[in-house]
A and B are shown apart, each in its own frame.
Chain A
């Protein structure tokens, strides 16, 4: 049985833990709102861009001279996995879920006899994949210093990926990130970015054929496809940012609640043992008085 002093210390320490998790939850809530705003603000651009690219790809993609970024290399041998996780932990299963999805994909590809290369974005994913997948690592992008994800960060990653593609280092590239649904639900997602895929243009959007393209369709495609890759990476980074804060918020919320429960339990134990001490003392006094 722990002494009164021990119990008191434990209650104090759990209380300060609760304060910390509570503060982290509130910080995450504020950051989540900012991250959601950023994702919201980026939406018009991404949606419009993908819609136009979809039309363009549908009308020009069929030809033999279409850019390789759209049609692929024709092979399916080397896969590049870009695993995007957070720089910080304490956000529930957020990092682990993304890493798990990427690991499963890597295992599957290796089992099929494909070559796997991995670029990690964010330190946490790198740490959790290093042990078993370290030999596949080709690069790491550090975003520790980045306070707010900007388009520049995304286009730097895209430029690196594209350079490797030009150099023939891989055939297919896939990004792994977490899609933000709600604060309590984020879906780890794999999305292929090279060859670039667009949602097919909606039915009835046949009017797209009426567009004049300047310069020609293919020159336009060649100019815009690299930007499309950057746009998709940017959108994924923003989703990831919102997911991370959402996951942290709910993880810290349950941590706060757990700490509260623990404090209640410890307080009851503390009161009981204090009462026991008092009762003991009384018994001693009474029996001492009787013995006289």
Chain B
């Protein structure tokens, strides 16, 4: 199964024979394997993991969607290999989520809060702590 991870600025990963892809979907995690029903799901901030022939690779992704068809194509607004996510970068992301939350209009507060919580949880997964987690 083909897997591609694309961010606006470049193509991060392209694997021809991925066995499974674990995707942080907006409605919950899902694992796509070959012959998965065609699905388009939006992403929440989280860790995307690909099981390829050379072992597992994990990426931190946020914003965008995954298209599961003949292969899996993930378009993420921001995507980094987990090893490349530094505390500094993560702090930036969290700060931005905070800003979005504080500026969110009445009917968007819930989703902004969820975004922030997801962002913080993502940091927890890769061992980065968020100083502003006390939401």
Which A residues are CB-close (under 8 A) to B75? Answer: 45, 48-49, 52
* A154–B7 CA distance with the chains assembled, in angstroms: 14
Which B residues are CB-close (under 8 A) to A223? Answer: 26, 42, 65
Encode contact with B along A196-232: 1 for CB under 8 Å, 0 otherwise: 0000000000010011111100011001100100110
Which A residues are CB-close (under 8 A) to B37? Answer: 212
* A45–B61 CA distance with the chains assembled, in angstroms: 14
Q: Which of A1-59 contact B (CB under 8 A)?
A: 38, 41-42, 44-46, 48-49, 52, 56
Which B residues are CB-close (under 8 A) to A56? Answer: 40
* A87–B75 CA distance with the chains assembled, in angstroms: 31
Q: Which residue of A lies closest to B69 (CB)?
A: A211
Which A residues are CB-close (under 8 A) to B63? Answer: 227
* A150–B8 CA distance with the chains assembled, in angstroms: 9
B27 to chain A, nearest CB (A): 5
A-B contacts, CB under 8 A, total: 80
Given contacts A52-B40, A211-B40, is CB(A44)–CB(B77) below 8 Å? no
- Within 8 Å of chain B (Cβ to Cβ): is A166? yes
- Within 8 Å of chain A (Cβ to Cβ): is B105? yes
Q: Which residue of B lies closest to A223 (CB)?
A: B42
Interface centre among A155, A219, A223 (most CB of B within 10 A): A223
- Within 8 Å of chain B (Cβ to Cβ): is A133? no
Choice from A41, A151, A207, A219 contacting B77 with Cβ under 8 Å: A151
Does the CB pair B38–A45 fall under 8 Å?
no
Q: How many residues of chain B get a CB closer than 8 Å to chain A's CBs?
A: 27
Does the CB pair A150–B9 fall under 8 Å?
yes
Interface extent on A, as a size class? 20 to 34
Does the CB pair A214–B9 fall under 8 Å?
no
Given contacts A151-B9, A215-B27, is CB(A224)–CB(B77) below 8 Å? no
Which A residues are CB-close (under 8 A) to B4? Answer: 44
A75 to chain B, nearest CB (A): 21
Q: Which residue of B lies closest to A151 (CB)?
A: B8
Which B residues are CB-close (under 8 A) to A234? Answer: 8
Q: Which of A208-265 contact B (CB under 8 A)?
A: 210-215, 219-220, 223-224, 227, 230-231, 234
Given contacts A212-B37, A213-B39, A220-B65, is CB(A45)–CB(B27) below 8 Å? no
Contact sample, A vs B, 23 pairs, CB 8 Å cutoff: A42-B8, A44-B11, A45-B6, A45-B11, A48-B73, A52-B67, A151-B78, A155-B77, A166-B105, A211-B40, A212-B39, A213-B39, A213-B40, A214-B27, A214-B30, A214-B39, A214-B42, A219-B26, A220-B40, A220-B41, A223-B26, A224-B64, A227-B64
Task: Mark A residues whose CB is within 8 Å of B.
Answer: 38, 41-42, 44-46, 48-49, 52, 56, 150-151, 154-155, 166, 207, 210-215, 219-220, 223-224, 227, 230-231, 234
Task: Mark B residues whose CB is within 8 Å of A.
Answer: 4, 6-11, 25-27, 30, 37-42, 63-65, 67, 69, 73, 75, 77-78, 105
